[in-house]
Amino acid sequence: MTGRWWNLRRRARQDDELDAELRSHLRMSEAERIARGESPAAAASNARREFGNLGLVAEITREMWGGAWLERLAQDLRYGIRMLKRSPGFSIVAILCLTLAIGANASVFSWIEGILLRPYPAVAGQDRLMVISGTQRGESGHTGISWPDLQDLRRRATLFDAFIGDKITGTTLSIGERAERAPGSMVSANYFDALGVRPVLGRGFLPDEEVGRNAHPVVVISYQLWKERFNGDPNIIGKTQRLNGLPHTIVGVAPQGFNGTFVGYAMQFWVPLSMQETFDPSGYKLEDRGARWLEPFARLKRGVTREQAQLEMASIGKRLETEYPATNKGHGFSVLPLWRSPFNASSELLATLRVAMIVVLFVLLIACANVGNLLLVRSLARQQEMTVRLAVGAARARLVRQLLTEGLVLSAIAAAGGLLLARWSQNLLALFFPPRGGVVINLPAQVDGRVLALSAAACVAATLLFALVPALQTSNIDLASALKATSKGVMAGYRGRIRAGLVVVQVSLSFVLLVGAVLLIRSQQGIRSANPGFATQNELATGVELFGYDTAPAKQFQDELLRRLETLSGVQSVAYARIRPFSYRTYAVAPITVSGYQPPPDEQPTAEYDEVSPGFLATLRIPLVAGRDFNHFDDDKSTPVAVVNEKMAERYWPGHDAVGRRFELNGRTLQVVGVAKMAKYRTMLETPQPFFYVPLRQNFARQLSIQIRTTEPPATMARAVAREIHALDANLAPSELLTMQEQIDRTTSAQRAAVTLLGVFGGLALLLAAIGLYGVMSYAVSQSARELGLRMALGAGAGNVLRLVMTQGLALTAVGIAIGAFAALGWTRLIGDLLFQVSPRDPLAFGSALAVMAAASFAACLIPAWRATRTDPVRALRE
């Protein structure tokens, strides 16, 4: 190898020496022939004929030296760049098409990497980090894990290095007349150590800080919060910050770039799980095995597969069922990779990114087909060049390699531009997700080594896709025929069929994308027009937190604020709720025992519920189908009551009136006093589930949503609500005020992102397909000028010529649409998770895509067809 590189450094001198040696051999041969009596001219001619092609001999000799492949590659690259400069129009169009396609692929690669596969940049070994979720036999979906169950998993599991408790929370930081929400997490004491994250200042949490009831008010703050709120104070350790009304001692600062373990929000602080009751208004849960609220992680031991871990977790789950039947009957555990986490934004974006990945691959194929068509046209102009190179001894493989190198130069430039495009669109997805509860969504992409490798693979694949067939066709020339014929007619028919096939591919893929885009648009329209079970018009929502207040003053504050808001101009009704529908917060869920209902052996009845004030159902216009709403007499001194939804009444008291029935919740017996009509609680795509409401006066909470039905504009009400809250406590401020329609729209961000991506890429694909069809038809018209001239000379009119050309172009479109329709039947099933009340085989979607594709194809064929009608028969027949 050393000798080869040494030869490369001496290549210029060796070439001179080789040339001199070859000429010396020729002169010696000529001299021998002259000595045998041949004339000097005949001797020179015969010597050259016997010796052969000097260039070919020199090339073979260089190959024997070694390292020739690198020299040829450099030559091919230089030549390829010169050829691109010689045809700037072609180069710009080809590079632009490929840049958009490869850039789209690189962007989606980076989103998948940064959101699904490796969402925690500062955490090492993410391939061994798993999400642990709860499951309920007989029900789909996933639940959280209770703290007692997680502790049992810690003690009994042998295939894991660590189990990590985690639950998103938050606090309100009042700034002037508004309240700014800061997201955070309640975590187990081993959180930072198990993740391999070392605070830049101070420490993480100590083992004993995760036990006790509100016993350890300590906090680790984020690097961003340290810089922005505390101005990077190097003496921050030991100082305090009020969180939810309670002073917390700052014990550490997380390193820069560590945003926690929740995809979607950049966490600003972490507190130990012992502070759960301070940050969770639904009550103390650390000793409640039935309260499944944690969203934990676990790190596998090296060499352990997820399947092995799942078997061990299933075994532990069965043992816990036997030991704790009251809370764990039918309950199990699931080990999930990070990209399948049901607890954060990855669950929302999984379907969208899956669709985006398929879409950008389609766009790459379409762009490659388009550039392949351009190369086939360009190859006609270079046919004479290739013929001459073959005639002087160039090998066909050498020509193919040269043409592939030129294609690689194109795709390499496009890949560089595509990576810049991916870097520019790094945070593009966050634009589809507006702030929730005043917290900015954080969905950064990650352009790392794996993304670079995938982009390079896309570059090489694109080169093979668009350059291989043109290269093979250009080099596959019948030399004798080519030297006798003009370049215009050689193999034009075969190349025309290849170009037509590429157009069919573009039309097919474009049709598939158009169908998907129309389906998602119709689904989005359906969501906006669907009835969520409550009225959204004139309905506003905001919130206030009273952490730091004792119970009696907090109740008094809430009552006074409600009275003040009800007297505001334009307000029709006001009510409180712990959780408002379609919010980012989760409802309380707990096992229930229903009187008279005998569950199956493997079922543990559970239901979600919300704490609401009197008038909440009326304010949201949720009708009662039986019984009554809550009133002011439903307080902590009266009989505990509940209002159930229709699904809960149907499941547990089928065929009977649910009013007056009883069920147990957390050791209390509740009496059903009303049945509310079905409503949506989290998303428009959810399936009906049992749900019930309990009086806020019997289940006090300091963190409340305020529901306001009013005819006043949101901006006016926001100022009025802030004014009334400040009148009661100048240190408090309301949270973000928004309409309920805005609240619903925020839950459809993933669908909107998919609609936008499909719309943009579908439009790009349609444009590329139309350009490709236009190019093919223009080429066909130019190649058929003599035939068209003959037809017109024999009496064919302009209408006949127009119809002939249009028929050929639309026939290609028809074939492409037929293939695309068949492919779309399978493709649309992949977006079923994003559809709302729309069938994947919706005839209107297919019909709309057909109309758009047909219109684009008609426009693409019309100009070449019109040009065909302008053919001069006399001139065409002379050429």
In-domain check, residue 136 = no
| pLDDT value at residue 6 | 45
> Which long-range contacts link 589-594 to residues 24+ away (Cβ below 8 Å)?
589/143, 589/292, 590/290, 590/291, 590/665, 590/666, 591/290, 591/326, 591/327, 592/663, 592/664, 592/665, 593/663, 593/664, 594/652, 594/653, 594/661, 594/663, 594/664
Q: H helices then E strands: how many in the chain?
A: 28, 22
Report the share of the chain in percent with pLDDT over 70.
81
How many other β-carbons are positioned within 10 Å of the β-carbon of residue 125? 12
| pLDDT value at residue 22 | 67
Same domain, 159 and 49: no
Burial profile 526-544: b = 16 or more Cβ within 10 angstroms, e = fewer: ebeeeebbbebeebbbbbb
| DSSP assignments along 798-816, one per residue | HHHHHHHHHHHHHHHHHHH
What are the tokens at 741? 């329609």
The alpha carbon dihedral of 56, 62, 63, 64 has a sign of positive
pLDDT category at 343 given cuts 50, 70, 90 is confident
Average pLDDT, integer, range 597-609: 82
Q: Which of 66, 100, 117 is a domain's end point?
A: 66
Q: Which of these, 873, 718, 712, lies nearest to 801 by C-alpha position?
A: 873
Same domain, 481 and 445: yes
Question: How far apart, in whole angstroms, are the C-alpha atoms of residue 842 and residue 839?
Answer: 5
383-391 and 396-424 helices, crossing angle to 10°: 140
| DSSP assignments along 44-58, one per residue | HHHHHHHH--HHHHH
Same domain, 720 and 579: yes
Helix (H, G, I), strand (E, B) or coil at 252: strand
**Is it the case that residue 218 has pLDDT exceeding 80?**
yes
Residue 442 DSSP class: B
Same domain, 850 and 718: no
Question: How far apart, in whole angstroms, are the C-alpha atoms of residue 195 and residue 254?
Answer: 12
| pLDDT value at residue 128 | 94
The pLDDT tens digits for 43-61 are 777 767 776 666 666 666 6
Average pLDDT, integer, range 117-142: 87
pLDDT category at 387 given cuts 50, 70, 90 is low
In-domain check, residue 195 = yes
In-domain check, residue 26 = yes
How many other β-carbons are positioned within 10 Å of the β-carbon of residue 834? 24
In-domain check, residue 542 = no
Same domain, 580 and 697: yes
Q: Hunting for tokens 């147990």 — which residue is that?
A: 664
In-domain check, residue 639 = yes
In angstroms, how far is the first alpha carbon of the chain from the final one? Answer: 58
The pLDDT tens digits for 559-572 are 999 999 999 999 99
| pLDDT value at residue 353 | 86
Rg (CA), the chain: 36
Q: Which of 285, 314, 341 is a domain's end point?
A: 341
Per-residue CA distances from 530 to 517, 527, 616, 684, 744 (Å): 20, 5, 21, 8, 11
Q: Which of 49, 66, 83 is a domain's end point?
A: 66
668-677, 750-759, 867-876: range with lowest mean pLDDT: 867-876
Same domain, 525 and 417: no
453-457, 657-661, 821-825: range with lowest mean pLDDT: 453-457
Question: How far apart, in whole angstroms, are the C-alpha atoms of residue 268 and residue 180?
Answer: 12
What are the tokens at 272? 């130990």
79-93, 196-210, 505-519, 846-860: range with lowest mean pLDDT: 79-93
| pLDDT value at residue 788 | 61
Strand duo 588-594 + 606-612: pairing: antiparallel
**Is it the case that residue 420 has pLDDT exceeding 80?**
yes
Q: Hunting for tokens 């795509």 — which residue is that?
A: 685
- What's the distance, CA 629 to chain centroid? 43
Mean pLDDT rounded to a whole number for the chain: 81
Q: Which helix (H) or strand (E) holds 738?
A: strand 738-739
Q: Which of these, 545, 535, 537, lies nearest to 576 by C-alpha position?
A: 545
Question: How far apart, in whole angstroms, are the C-alpha atoms of residue 666 and residue 271?
Answer: 26
**Is it the case that residue 521 has pLDDT exceeding 80?**
yes
Count the domains in the chain.
Answer: 5
What are the tokens at 637? 């001194």
Same domain, 553 and 443: no
Same domain, 238 and 256: yes
- What's the distance, CA 721 to chain centroid? 38
HSE (side-chain half, CA atoms, 13 Å) at 494: 10
**Is it the case that residue 700 has pLDDT exceeding 50?**
yes
pLDDT category at 765 given cuts 50, 70, 90 is confident
Check residues 233 and 170 and name the one with the higher pLDDT.
233
In-domain check, residue 607 = yes
Report the share of the chain in percent with pLDDT over 90.
28
**Is it the case that residue 486 has pLDDT exceeding 60?**
no
Answer for the pair 445, 422: CB distance below 8 angstroms, yes or no.
Answer: yes
Q: What is the largest CA-CA distance in the chain?
A: 133
Same domain, 481 and 505: no
Question: How far apart, in whole angstroms, are the C-alpha atoms of residue 46 and residue 691?
Answer: 101
In-domain check, residue 138 = no
Same domain, 560 and 666: yes
Check residues 393 and 746 and name the one with the higher pLDDT.
746
Which residues, including other chains, have CB under 8 Å from residue 586's CB and lie 6 or more apart?
Answer: 293, 579
Question: How far apart, in whole angstroms, are the C-alpha atoms of residue 579 and residue 586?
Answer: 7
* Dihedral angle, C-alpha 276, 281, 282, 286, nearest 10 °: 10
| pLDDT value at residue 107 | 87
Q: Hunting for tokens 């547990």 — which residue is that?
A: 652
pLDDT category at 591 given cuts 50, 70, 90 is confident
What are the tokens at 243? 């969180």
Which residues, including other chains, have CB under 8 Å from residue 285's CB and lie 6 or more apart?
Answer: 146, 147, 276, 277, 291, 293
Q: Hunting for tokens 């990070």 — which residue is that?
A: 338
Q: Which domain holds residue 570?
A: 547-731
**Is it the case that residue 203 has pLDDT exceeding 90?**
yes
| DSSP assignments along 607-630, one per residue | EEEEEE-TTHHHHHT--EEEE---
103-117, 158-172, 239-253, 832-846: range with lowest mean pLDDT: 832-846
What are the tokens at 255? 């390193």
The pLDDT tens digits for 49-103 are 776 666 666 666 655 555 555 566 566 666 666 666 666 766 787 788 888 888 8
Answer for the pair 451, 114: CB distance below 8 angstroms, yes or no.
Answer: no
Same domain, 402 and 460: yes
Residue type, 60: I
pLDDT category at 600 given cuts 50, 70, 90 is confident
**Is it the case that residue 370 has pLDDT exceeding 70?**
yes
Question: How far apart, in whole angstroms, are the C-alpha atoms of residue 658 and residue 227?
Answer: 56
| pLDDT value at residue 491 | 34
Question: How far apart, in whole angstroms, are the C-alpha atoms of residue 298 and residue 292?
Answer: 17
Same domain, 58 and 170: no
Residue 234 DSSP class: T
**Is it the case that residue 1 has pLDDT exceeding 50?**
no
pLDDT category at 162 given cuts 50, 70, 90 is very high
Average pLDDT, integer, range 215-230: 92
In-domain check, residue 283 = yes
Question: How far apart, in whole angstroms, are the C-alpha atoms of residue 354 and residue 832?
Answer: 12
Which residues, including other chains, have CB under 8 Å from residue 31's CB and lie 6 or more apart?
Answer: 43
| pLDDT value at residue 59 | 62
